[in-house]
Structure 1
Amino acid sequence: MRERITNWAGNVVFSTETVHRPKSITEVQETVAAAGALRVLGSGHSFNRLADTDGALISLADLPRVIEIAEDRKTVRVDGGLRYGDLAAPLTEAGLALHNLASLPHISVAGAVATATHGSGVRNGNLATAVAGLEIVRADGELVTLTRDDADLAGAVVGLGALGVVTALTLDVSPAAELRQYVYENLPASADLGAVLADGYSVSLFTRWSGRDIDQVWLKRHDPMPAGDFHGATPADGPRHPVPGMPAENCTEQGGVPGPWHARLPHFRMEFTPSSGEELQSEWHVPLSAARDAISAVGDLRSRVAAVLQVCELRTIAADDLWLSPNYRRDSLALHFTWIADTSAVLPVVADLERALAPFAARPHWGKIFTTPAADLRAAYPHFSDFAALVRRFDPTAKFTNDWLSSLL
């Protein structure tokens, strides 16, 4: 069918109006085999043209929902169109949990994994690190299954949609546990950053770069916190939203009230419908060992940044071995910027930040706004040539390679 398609934020209008919506895996295979240029349409939470195509889009939203817990209760198999928020409650009812979630539970599992979207925690890998298996429809329509016994899996997990259509994923799970969420305000710039970021299961720092102190600390942990300050930050006197002036009722419960893991790890409630067209996003990952210096470098641009910023979030992600993960072989600090919805005003600031963070070997989030040259991106990943070879093997006719990926590959 033909329809005008935009991404979540509305800053990208796709170059095609053709969207295929198969209702079975067989239909997916037939659609892929017959198609020319093709890209998968997920939840649309990318802010660049990674998912764009001038051919056709394929959506898995109409596939039957699949949530199959393994007999040993160590993994769950899910379909390629499932959202994290729709997986979380059934897992919890079964007494199981994922190791982490992103800020928004509305995003698709396959899309988040393909771009190494993450969540937070010094001991927590990004969401892609939970993948124990992938089922991919290749360009010729063949359904291929990869497991951790396959050398290709490390390259295919963060695959940018370049290998084919991911119709199912197998994810690691563990016993569910309750979490508590606390919000603190005005963390002194002199606080021990490493100690702050490690003092919880998941820790996020929010700043508007209007001063040197951190505006908010969002702390998620299993054990209750003692009353009083947190590394010099004071407890918030009520619920907060990360962006000043926005309604706190859209956010997950705070104040240390215990609740299910899936109702505390995201910042926002599943029943809250995210706004669209009101923001742009960029994010860069630097080695955690360089966190203080990277923050200082951004601070030197604070007036430029603050002029177009809604809020900036600082988070940590553990190292992994996935070829195109921004956290490949290094514990990382992610500097996430939520901008105003003005591309012409934001892009020059993005370029300034990239220059400031270049000395720290910053790797951009694949789904956000960045201007890093393709050659620099290739150089940032030791296995990039291996990934390009894997793409050629799965998709020799470049059916899934759009203009954005072509410049990269």
Structure 2
Amino acid sequence: MRNEPELNWAGTLEYKAADIVDATTIDEVSSLVAGAERIRALGTRHSFSDIADTDALLVTVTEIEPDFVLDDEARTVTVGAGTRYGILARYLEDNGWALHNMGSLPHISIAGAVATGTHGSGNGNGVLSTAVSALEFVTADGELRTVRRGEPGFDGLVVGLGAFGVVVRITLNIQPSFQVRQDVFRGLPWDVLLDDVEGVTSLGYSVSVFTDWVEDTIANFWVKTRLDSGVDVPDEWNGAKRDIVSAGSLWETSDDNLNEQGGKPGPWLERLPHFRLDRIPSNGDEIQTEYFVPRSQGGDALRAVRALGEKIAPHLIITELRTAAADDLWLSMAYQRDSLIIHFTWKNEPDAVLALLPQIEEALAPFDARPHWGKLNTVDAVTLSRLYPRLPEFRALAAEWDPTGAFRNAALDRLIFTEE
């Protein structure tokens, strides 16, 4: 039993678990699961919602060795599920391989990111979960079970919210290593973005747009370009000018935390994430919220939120706009929709944030905004049932895998298994 409060990475969420056990082997995970009435898996604690929490036992797999298995012919890598993306990325780069994308923080665990649909950016890039080709679970009886792409239920199991068991090994698709340059543009007129979201977000392999909602022009947008794409990066685009100055001040933090900008080429793992693995990312003392809307309606969705800009700005550190390609994972926020992702990094002002969220969600309701499972929001079960057409199948699959509810928690009961 731990005596000190257990907090998430930013210190803004306290876990209610009766105990947290840091497993060091898969056998230990199996023993813990088999001996527990209720148990949940905890990753690197980068969620801002209670999706991973429980009032019973939490087990982490972040201390289990990665035990990399590289299959050059199949173009896959199998790795311990608690491994951080940045650690896996370095291994792959050292062996001439790459992932299709990375989140802004390389610090997050693979299993946690996959289970919640976490993402990077890019109109043609699926969320990180789309790279999964196999999952190995410890199921409720303590046994190991592996499921592969194409097998029954696979598309429901990937973004699984921890409902099916403790994931201990993951196999991901990989591709040959590639080089990326990262350029910062400043001064984009709002009207250009509102009228042509697709045009702005298609300027690079991965694009991020930053705003506080009340500025006259877009403060920054970052274009990450694959050097093998043959695309030239312009010095100016629709009034926005390329700048060599780094942009760490967006998060009220040091530029030293960021991966190198200014158009200097570098390996994918040092350009696709915003932050360096060996630094504390983002602001740190923060709350995060995020919604996915159809990219085809992106301009109208941004107009709806911008109408609340004067209310949002005093409590905001920064908003980042990113994109994701549609996929077929049942509970992915990008399920069957090319998506614009509206992210809020808030100051640590929980009362003010919780008062604002229903207003933002009401403004985004006409666009069927799907909240990120790992970010703070106030969306209810009735709304989620409408937003996720495969939710009944997810419930049935969870009942098949976990008939006693060993992996259920308050969040799943409230959001997924509530009687409508």
TM-score, structure 2 as length reference: 0.95
Query: RMSD value over aligned CA atoms?
Result: 1.4
Asked if the contact 2:162/2:407 (under 8 Å) is kept, the reply is yes
CA offset digits 1:233-286 (Å, max 9, x no partner)? 112241111616421111110111110100000000111123776110000000
**Aligned match for 1:247, one of 233, 254, 268:** 254
1:179 correspondence with 2:180: yes
Residues in 2 aligned to 1:226 and 1:169: alpha-carbon distance in whole angstroms: 36
Query: Structure 1 residue 80 and structure 2 residue 67: aligned?
Result: no
Deviation at 1:17? Answer: 4.3
Quote how far apart the aligned CAs of 1:323 are.
0.2
For residue 393 of structure 1, what is the aligned residue in structure 2?
Answer: 400
Q: Which shows bigger deviation, 227-236 or 153-162?
A: 227-236
Aligned with residue 356 of structure 1, among 345, 353, 363:
363
Give the Cα separation in 1 of the matches to 2:76 and 2:279. 28
Q: What is the match of residue 321 of structure 2?
A: 314
Alignment partner of 1:337 out of 344, 351, 365? 344
Q: C-alpha separation between the residues in 2 aligned to 1:225 and 1:16?
A: 51
Question: Would you say the 8 A contact 2:253–2:282 is kept in 1?
Answer: no
Deviation at 1:227, TM superposition (A): 5.1
Give the conservation status (yes or no) of the 8 Å contact 1:196–1:231.
no
Q: Does 1:404 align with 2:405?
A: no
Q: Say whether the 8 Å CA contact 2:290–2:343 is kept in structure 1.
A: yes
1:233 aligned to which of 206, 228, 240: 240
C-alpha contact 2:252 2:283 (8 A) present in aligned 1 = no
Deviations 1:269-308 (A, max 9, x none): 1111237761100000000010000000011111011121
Compute the displacement of 1:231 (Å).
3.0
1:2 and 2:14 matched: no
Which stretch has the larger CA shift, 229-238 or 84-93? 229-238
CA distance in 2, matches of 1:375, 1:170: 34
* Separation in structure 1 between the aligned mates of residue 98 and residue 318 of structure 2, nearest angstrom: 29
Match status 1:111 vs 2:112: yes
> In 1, Cα distance between the equivalents of 2:16 and 2:186?
44
Instruction: Report the secondary structure of 1:171's partner residue.
Output: strand
Instruction: State the Cα deviation string for residues 153-188 of structure 1 (Å, max 9, x = none).
Output: 100000001111000010000011100000011111
- For residues 109-258 of structure 1, what are the structure 2 equivalents within 5 Å? 109-191=110-192, 192-223=196-227, 225-226=232-233, 228-241=235-248, 243=250, 245-258=252-265
Among candidates 272, 278, 282, match of residue 279 of structure 2 = 272
- CA deviation after TM superposition for structure 1 residue 71, in Å: 4.0
| 1:156–1:163 Cα contact (<8 Å) kept | yes
In 2, Cα distance between equivalents of 1:247 and 1:352:
32
Structure 1 CA distance for aligned equivalents of residues 249 and 269 of structure 2: 18
Q: Does the 8 A contact of 1:277 with 1:341 survive in 2?
A: no
Equivalent residue of 1:134, what SS? Answer: strand
Tell me how far apart the structure 2 counterparts of residues 73 and 93 of structure 1 sit (CA, whole Å): 18
Asked whether the 8 Å contact 2:41–2:52 carries over to 1, the reply is yes
CA distance in 1, matches of 2:275, 2:282: 12
Q: CA deviation at 1:400?
A: 0.9
Q: Does residue 304 in structure 1 map to residue 314 in structure 2?
A: no
Q: What CA distance in whole angstroms lies between the structure 1 residues aligned with 2:2 and 2:306? A: 46
* Counterpart residue identity of residue 292, structure 2: H
Q: Is the 8 Å Cα contact of residues 80 and 166 (structure 1) preserved in structure 2?
A: yes
Structure 1 contact 92–176 (Cα < 8 Å) conserved: yes
Shift of 1:81: 1.1
TM score, norm. by length of structure 1: 0.97
- Does the CA contact (< 8 Å) of 1:84 and 1:109 recur in 2? yes
Contact preservation (8 Å) 1:11, 1:277:
no
Kept in 2: contact 1:38–1:53 (CA 8 A)? yes
SS of equivalent to 2:28: helix
Percent identity, please: 46
Secondary structure (helix, strand or coil) at the match of 2:393 reads helix
Q: Measure the CA separation in 2 of the matches of 1:373 and 1:19.
A: 28
User: Following the alignment from structure 2 to structure 1, what is the Cα–Cα distance between the partners of residues 148 and 233?
Assistant: 44
Look up the SS of the partner of 2:353 in the other structure: helix
- Paired residue secondary structure (1:291): helix
Alpha-carbon distance in 1 for matches of 2:232, 2:287: 34
Specify the SS of the correspondent of 1:119: coil
> d(CA) in 2 for partners of 1:295 and 1:138?
42
The superposition leaves residues 131-173 of structure 1 with CA deviations (integer Å, 9 ceiling, x where unpaired) of 0000011111111100013121100000001111000010000
Question: Match for 1:208: what amino acid?
Answer: D
The answer to whether structure 1 residue 346 and structure 2 residue 349 are counterparts is no
- In structure 1, C-alpha distance between the alignment counterparts of 2:250 and 2:101, rounded to whole Å: 22
Equivalent of residue 389 in structure 2, options 379, 382, 398? 382
Whole-Å Cα distance in 1 between the matches of residues 395 and 341 of structure 2? Answer: 25
Alignment partners' CA distance in 1, 2:217 and 2:78: 43
Aligned CA distance change for structure 1 residues 381 and 8 (closer, same or farther; 3 Å): same
**What code does the residue aligned with 2:394 have?**
F
Corresponding pairs, count: 409
User: Does the Cα contact within 8 Å between 1:39 and 1:161 map onto a contact in 2?
Assistant: yes
Assess, with a 3 A threshold, how the Cα gap between structure 1 residues 343 and 171 changes in structure 2: closer, same or farther.
same
**Matched letter for residue 19 of structure 2:** T
- List gaps (5 residues or longer) in structure 1: none
Q: CA deviation at 1:230?
A: 2.6
The letter of the residue matching 1:345 is: A
Separation (CA, whole Å) in 1 of partners of 2:97 and 2:251? 34
Amino acid aligned to 1:214: I
Give the distance between the partners of 1:242 and 1:40, measured in 2 at CA. 34
